[in-house]
Structure formats: C-alpha cells, structure tokens
Amino acid sequence: MLGNKFVKGLAVTAGLALTAGLIVAPASAATKEIVIWADETRGPKLTTLFKANPRAVAGYKVKVVTYSSFSALKDAFDKSTIGAGPDIVYGASDWTASNVKNGKFAPISVPGSFKARYSKSDLDLLSRDGKLYGVPLDINAPAMAYNPAIVKSKPNTFGDMVDFYNANKAKYDFGMCITDGGIAWAGHGLFSALGGGAYQFKNGQIDKSNPFDKAALTANIKRFLLDSSGKSNGFLKNINGGVCKTQFAAGKVPFAIVGQWEIPTYEAAKIRPALMAVPGPTAGTSGKFLGGVSAAFLTSSAKAHGVEVGAKSLITRFIGSTQGQLKYQQLEKRASAEKGAAKAQIGLWTKAFAQALSGNTVPEVGSVLGSNAGGSSYWDAAGNFWDAILSGKDVATEVDKFHTLLKKNLDAGAKDL
C-alpha cells in the first residue's frame, strides 16, 4: 500500500463507477467484457495497452476503469460487492491478506514454468496457504535521489547530507522532501535510516519482538533533524507531492525521495538525479524502503460476472507473459517483476532504480501495516509522528508513543502471517 491517504475524488453510487467523466455500467452488464480497475497512473496506460492489443484474450473485450488516485481505487474496492466489483484489480501486494480473508480475491493456478519466471519472494507476497491470487507486475518502491549538478559527491552518511544543507542553507528552503508516495510509505526509508521502522526483518522473517530501537531513533533525530533548542533545523520538510517535486526538479532542494513513475517529470526538466538508498548514521548503513510488488489480482467478481475463464487467461497468458510485461512496462516505465521482461529492459532509469533498491527494502506486510490494534495504523500514524517531531514536541515522548502503537500493531498483525 502506498502511504498517501489523500483521496482526490471518488464516485461509487448504486454500483456505478466514475471514469474519465463517463458513467459506465457494472461488469455484469456485459457477459463478454472483462473489467479492470486501476488508479490514475496505471489506468491510462492500461487503456493504451489494450487498445493496441485488442486480442489480448480471445472472445472478450477489456474495459479499464480509472480512479482518481490509488487511495480512491482502494476505497472503491474495499466498498465494492462481489456482484459489482471489477474482474481484475491492479493493486499492491499488501492487499493480499485482507482480500483473501474476505473472499474478494480468487486463486489462479499456474504451472511451475510460469512461477520460474518470477522470484519466489514476490509470488509469496501474493499467496496464502499455497494458493496464488495475482501476478506480480513491477517492483514497487521509491529511492532517494540527489542532483549531481548540485551535490558533487555521493553522501556516505545521513550526516553528510545534513552538513551539505547546513553549509549551503542560504540556497535552499530545506534539505530533503518526498516528491510522491507520502511520509509513511516513501518516507519509510528515511525513518529506517534513522533507526526506526514499522518492523524489522531478520533472516528473511519479520522480527516479532520489537519494531525498532527507541534509543537509537531518539538520538539520531536529535542529532540530525533538530537544532540545539529542540526545534527543526530545516533539513527535513514533511511535504508530499507537487511542491517537493517542483522544487527538486528546479534544483531548489538537494535531496528527495522519488518514485519510478516520476521519470517523465525529471526527463522533461532535463535533469538526471543519482539514485541511492537513504544513508544511515555511519558509512555502510542505509534505510530500508517498504518494497512490495504491484499486482494484477483476479477477483471473485469475475466468476459472478461469468468471465472467470477469460479473466484468468488474460492474467496468466497476457498480463503475466514476458511480452505482455514488456509491452506494459514500455508505457509504465517501472522495473518489471517478470525475469524475462526485466532482463530486456535496458532503460538507464530502470537499472538505476534496481541498483539503488538492491538489498535496501523490506517486504510490505499488510496485516501489520494496516493493523490499528495500537489505536491507529502505521499508515495513518506516521504523518502525525513526523509532524510532532518537526513541530518541536519532546522527541523521547513521541518516539515512545509511536513505538508503543507499532508494537501493538505488530503483535496483532503477526497473528495473520
């Protein structure tokens, strides 16, 4: 799940979905029509893809319904019924647990040769009790970026970035921000670099004992983000989206956390940021971004609409094929999760993201991230935590409160693993 919770607009009334300004009938109105739901970035590209490939699945038409944001898509899917939902939904790996549990996702059967084209860890994120519910599309994680025209040498530590900002403070309004994805999702790499984390992984498994080291996080926040009076030193700005993206593209912010989907913005600005993980307090350490995979999920609605056979075929024979993935990623420009397509992707941006993320992610665990056993989910609580820190609240107190919340969420969410 991407952490940005802002919903730009949503209309779901009496089973009707609003897309591109038109009201369209629910999927059940056309027995040979497969309906896909997607967000505002993927939807237009999928429309282009299936327009160029009208025979992607023999005997069926494909209709793409685009929602105004990822949050709007998730909200609509959460509220949908099996009778009025999509046949396929383009979502995130952390949707798996809850939607298998509530019966909205349907399993797909694929041979070993199909599975061999994907990493086991990616398939595991989309599986429950040995059953696969979707096809991995692309690696879904941001990376930290800096403009080498401004920052002449790669920062080896978090302190290197802060020192650069302090030495050049007159030139910049702030030192780091997040261009898209929100402080919870995209900002997890920053949180982790300073010693925090929604949870930790050890030996390939989630550590159920402790979400993070309170003392380390408290010390690093005071050292790197606050001045001697306990107020923000101006390095980190908790903003997301337009302002940060514009400022970074214009060279007015030295460091930012960016997403793969933003490539056209920086190409248009004629800059090529260097990509990396968020460096930690000491050289050789770095933060872990939340790394899931985006996926095309088969839903139980497909069977209710009488198009289950076609929807399964579309997912396994086209969407999940090497050629299907290549055609899609030529439009989407993200790192494909399918091995054959990934090997054929020669874009410098794609390779740069892959290198920056290698070893610098932890899997998105939806049952933990979405748990509100502590009173609020990580997604909802992260922004409040950073607002409190940057507004001068007592660091140790805020860290302790956040740790308590996340530990309760971890305890509850781990039961569903």
For residue range 261-286, what is the model confidence (pLDDT) as tens digits?
Answer: 887 788 888 888 999 999 999 999 99
Q: How far is the CA of 181 from the CAs of 66, 227, 341, 368, 398, in angstroms?
A: 19, 27, 25, 19, 23
Q: Under 8 Å CB-to-CB from 362, ≥6 apart: which residues?
A: 192, 197, 199, 200, 201, 288, 289, 290, 291
Spatial distance between the Cα atoms of 82 and 132, rounded to a whole number of angstroms: 19
Is residue 232 pLDDT above 50, yes or no? yes
At 125, which helix (H) or strand (E)? helix 120-125
For the segment 70-82, what is each residue's pLDDT rounded down to a tens digit? 989 999 999 999 9
Is residue 325 pLDDT above 70, yes or no? yes
pLDDT score, position 240: 63
pLDDT score, position 208: 94
Span 256-262, average pLDDT: 88
How does residue 28 score in pLDDT terms, banded at 50, 70 and 90? very low
At 296, which helix (H) or strand (E)? strand 289-298
Side-by-side strand order, sheet with 12-13: 12-13, 16-19, 22-24
Flag whether the pTM goes above 0.85: no
- Evaluate whether 149 touches 219 at the Cβ level (below 8 Å): no
Q: Are strands 201-202 and 205-206 parallel, antiparallel or unpaired?
A: antiparallel
pLDDT score, position 22: 34
Q: How does DSSP classify residue 6?
A: -
pLDDT score, position 141: 85
pLDDT score, position 15: 34
Span 338-342, average pLDDT: 89
More confident residue, 346 or 176: 176
Work out the number of other CB atoms within 10 angstroms of the CB of residue 348.
Answer: 9
How does residue 38 score in pLDDT terms, banded at 50, 70 and 90? very high
What's the mean pLDDT when you consider all of the chain? 89
Q: How far is the CA of 311 from the CAs of 81, 101, 105, in angstroms?
A: 18, 21, 12
Spatial distance between the Cα atoms of 227 and 358, rounded to a whole number of angstroms: 33
pLDDT score, position 133: 98
Is residue 153 pLDDT above 60, yes or no? yes
For the segment 294-304, what is each residue's pLDDT rounded down to a tens digit? 999 999 999 99
**Amino acid, res. 47:** T
Q: How far is the CA of 252 from the CAs of 198, 255, 323, in angstroms?
A: 31, 9, 40
How does residue 12 score in pLDDT terms, banded at 50, 70 and 90? very low
SS3 at position 35:
strand
The values of phi and psi at residue 275, to 5°, are: -110, 145
For the segment 88-128, what is each residue's pLDDT rounded down to a tens digit? 999 999 899 889 999 999 999 999 999 999 988 889 989 99
Is residue 138 pLDDT above 60, yes or no? yes
Spatial distance between the Cα atoms of 190 and 282, rounded to a whole number of angstroms: 14
Is residue 87 pLDDT above 50, yes or no? yes
Spatial distance between the Cα atoms of 240 and 178, rounded to a whole number of angstroms: 5
The values of phi and psi at residue 229, to 5°, are: -90, 0
Span 220-235, average pLDDT: 96
pLDDT score, position 106: 98
Span 334-341, average pLDDT: 88
pLDDT score, position 316: 97
Span 176-181, average pLDDT: 91
**CB burial class (10 A; 0-12, 13-18, 19+) of residue 170?**
exposed
What domains, with CATH codes, occur in the chain? 12-140+292-346 (3.40.190.10), 143-290+360-416 (3.40.190.10)
- Evaluate whether 94 touches 292 at the Cβ level (below 8 Å): yes
Work out the number of other CB atoms within 10 angstroms of the CB of residue 103.
Answer: 10
Is residue 5 pLDDT above 60, yes or no? no
Span 151-164, average pLDDT: 97
Is residue 14 pLDDT above 60, yes or no? no
How does residue 30 score in pLDDT terms, banded at 50, 70 and 90? very low
pLDDT score, position 17: 44
- Evaluate whether 257 touches 190 at the Cβ level (below 8 Å): yes
- Evaluate whether 254 touches 172 at the Cβ level (below 8 Å): yes
Specify the range with the lowest mean pLDDT, choosing from 23-37, 90-104, 150-164: 23-37
Span 144-155, average pLDDT: 94
pLDDT score, position 346: 63
Span 219-239, average pLDDT: 93
Is residue 13 pLDDT above 50, yes or no? no
